[in-house]
Structure 1
Amino acid sequence: MDSRCEPYDPFAEAEDPDGDYETTMRTLGWERFLTVGEDPAPLYITTWRRTMPDGGIEYAFDVWGIDAGSPFFKVATFPELMDLVARWAPAVQAAHVSAFLGDLAEVGGLSTMGVVERVAARAAFGVKDALPEIRSAEREAARLYRQQQARRQQPVAPAR
């Protein structure tokens, strides 16, 4: 492990060590800084930053998967944080692409052979087939909007 990256246990500083980790981080002055990937996802990185009493800024990060997260780690500078994010980003990207292709194969009935070609074909032909329906729906929505606006401009009849 890089000597500039050190393990960090925010719960050791926390008054409530059994609390939610996001709440604990915020209580300790940390704010979410940069996230690579999304929750829920096969793999994503969450980074945090906080301003120290002396005005310096420190950074922490953790890596999460579907089942669990890594321990927290701290780095002293923004360039060190970005170096670590850059090292992990390919793994995050690969996990997202693999999950995306798995979802396509499961939902769309795609085989794993020629996935890119099949997705491109579905996009091209799907848009071509759906375009008349989309345009028809847009025309109907515009007609209803005009009708609604015309009703608003009519005087209200007095109640009997």
Structure 2
Amino acid sequence: MGETNKETTLCYADGVWNRGYDPVGRSWSEGVSLDAAISAAGYELWARIGDPAVLVNAPITVTIHHRPQEPRYLVCVEGLFGPLEWVYARALPDLMDLLAKWTPAVQFAFVTDLLCQLNDPHGGDSDVIRLLRRLLRQGEDY
């Protein structure tokens, strides 16, 4: 679980980080999967940025879950080689402020990895890489 403990974790609200109750941490115990703990806390998948299903080696993935009560958004951040960490955003404006700050880093990592795979003849073989290589070859004809 990294830095997150079962009692409290960080919650972003009104531009300020506060330590508060961790609904997922409280639901997660030995023998319980993280997905089950997220569901038990009332969260459902809402969005994913840097989806590893699109880019095989996505260096950073941000997965957002939503529920009706506060904190409404669970923001899970996972590095390619590191543990999953999570924080909360109290409401939609807080989430959007947080994403405005974090998304450029995720996009930069995603694009950098994509370019490395495009330039490596033995690089990634995902549908996205194959499509981009084909489009780039077609562009050379013009």
TM-score normalized by the length of structure 2:
0.64
Distance 2:37 2:65 in 1: 12
Bigger strand fraction: 2
- CA offsets per residue over residues 52-98 of structure 1, 9 Å max, x none? 3xxx6611112111123442211211000111111111111111111
- What's the counterpart of residue 80 of structure 2? 66
Contact between 2:27 and 2:37, CA under 8 Å: does it hold in 1? yes
User: Shift of residue 11 of structure 1?
Assistant: 4.8
Report which structure shows greater RCO (CA 8 Å, sep ≥6): 2
Aligned to 1:16: 29
Q: What's the RMSD between the two structures over aligned residues?
A: 3.2
- How many angstroms does 1:44 deviate by? 1.7
1:121 to 1:82, Cα distance in 2 relative to 1, 3 A: closer
Structure 1, unaligned runs of 5 or more: 110-117, 129-160
Distance 1:16 1:119 in 2: 47
Give the direction of change, closer, same or farther, for the CA distance of 1:62–1:6 in structure 2 (3 Å limit): farther
Residue 42 of structure 1 aligns with an amino acid whose one-letter code is P
Q: Give the length in aligned residue pairs.
A: 116
Unpaired runs of 5+ in structure 2?
1-11, 124-132
2:90 alignment partner, one of 51, 58, 76:
76
Q: Report the Cα distance in structure 2 between the residues aligned to 1:68 and 1:108, rounded to whole angstroms.
A: 24
Identity %: 27
Q: 1:63 to 1:101 in 2, by over 3 A?
A: same
Deviation of the 1:100 alpha carbon: 0.9
Aligned to 1:105: 119
The equivalent of 1:91 in structure 2 is: 105
The structural deviation recorded for 1:125 is 3.8
Q: Distance in 1 between the 2:135 and 2:83 partners?
A: 35
Q: Which has the higher helix share?
A: 1
2:62 is matched with 45
Amino acid at match of 2:49: V
Asked if the contact 1:11–1:17 (Cα under 8 Å) also holds between the matched residues in 2, the reply is: no
TM-aligned CA distance change 1:59 to 1:11, over 3 Å: closer
Q: Provide the residue aligned with 2:44 in structure 1.
A: 31
| Structure 2 equivalent of residue 143 of structure 1 | none
